[in-house]
Every structure is written in C-alpha cells, then in structure tokens.
C-alpha cells in the first residue's frame, strides 16, 4: 500500500466530511441557517465537499486498488469527523452505544488497511 496516498486520501475525506457536518448542522447552532438564505449559503458552502470526496476517492483508490476499501474508509472517516464536531460543538457525549459504534469504525479501518488478500 502506498501510505502517502492513503493519508492524503484520508485527509481529503476528513475535510469533505467536516464540510458536510457544518452544512448539515449549522441550522442546529444558528437559527439563521434555517432560513431560505441560510440554506442557500449552505448549498454554496457544500460544493467544496464534492471536490474533497472526488480527490479522497482518487487517492484512496490509488493507495488500496479497491473501491470497497475506499467506501468503507470514507464511511469510517465520516464517523470519526462526526464524533469530533458533535462532541466539540454540540456538547454531546459518547455513551456506550456510540462508543461501540466508534470502536467498530476503527475495526473497519484496521481491516481495510492491514488485511491483505489476493
């Protein structure tokens, strides 16, 4: 595996997932984002996330040579970034159910990275 491409791809997915978190959840923090203008602003702000997903897919596919790995790593990056932003900005703690889900996401990443097949 090309680790440089792997980490670049994960970085792009983390950026894209973070943008997605903000464009989806700003309405819960600031009421203005529930308005038509706020929704329009979030539509425009969400466009760079698409670029992040495209580049993340490209780099992770080049690193792993399998689209399943890209999908599962992208999912796991989404769970991890969601956890960080939700804990930090929404002050939602991590209960047992969420903790187990986070652990399973980590297991998915480890399986995709270290389980070799041919």
pLDDT in tens, 67-102: 998 998 898 889 889 989 999 999 998 999 989 988
Judged against a pLDDT cut of 70, whether residue 104 lies above it is answered with: yes
Distance CA 9, CA 73 (A): 9
Span 39-60, pLDDT tens digits: 999 999 999 999 999 999 999 9
The pTM (predicted TM-score) of the whole model is 0.85
**Hey, what are 97's tokens?**
């159910």
Q: How high is the mean pLDDT of the chain?
A: 92
Judged against a pLDDT cut of 90, whether residue 24 lies above it is answered with: yes
Name the residue with tokens 């090309």: 2
């Amino acid at each position: 595996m090309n680790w440089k491409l792997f980490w670049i791809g994960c970085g792009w997915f983390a950026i894209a997932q973070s943008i997605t978190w903000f464009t989806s959840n700003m309405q819960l923090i600031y009421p203005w984002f529930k308005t038509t203008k706020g929704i329009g602003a979030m539509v425009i702000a969400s466009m760079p996330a698409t670029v992040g997903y495209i580049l993340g897919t490209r780099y992770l596919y080049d690193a792993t040579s399998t689209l399943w790995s890209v999908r599962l790593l992208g999912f796991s990056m989404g769970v991890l970034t969601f956890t960080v932003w939700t804990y930090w900005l929404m002050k939602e703690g991590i209960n047992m159910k969420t903790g187990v889900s986070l652990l399973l996401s980590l297991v998915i990443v480890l399986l995709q990275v270290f389980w070799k097949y041919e």
